[in-house]
Amino acid sequence: MLDSDGYIRIVDFGLSKTKVKGATAWSICGTPEYLAPEVIWKMGHGKPVDWWAIGCILYELITGQPPYYSKSQERLFKKIKAKPIKIPKKITPEC
In a domain, 37, yes or no: yes
Contacts of 86 (CB under 8 A, 6+ apart): 67
In a domain, 39, yes or no: yes
In a domain, 74, yes or no: yes
In a domain, 10, yes or no: no
Q: State the Cα–Cα distance between residues 6 and 82, nearest whole angstrom.
A: 40
Could you list the residue range(s) of the whole structural domain that residue 43 is in? 32-81
pLDDT of 44: 82
Element (H, E) at 9: none
pLDDT of 13: 57
pLDDT beneath 50, residues of the chain: none
In a domain, 87, yes or no: no
Is the separation of the CB atoms in 53 and 45 below 8 Å?
no
pLDDT of 12: 65
What is the number of structural domains in the chain? 1
pLDDT of 20: 60
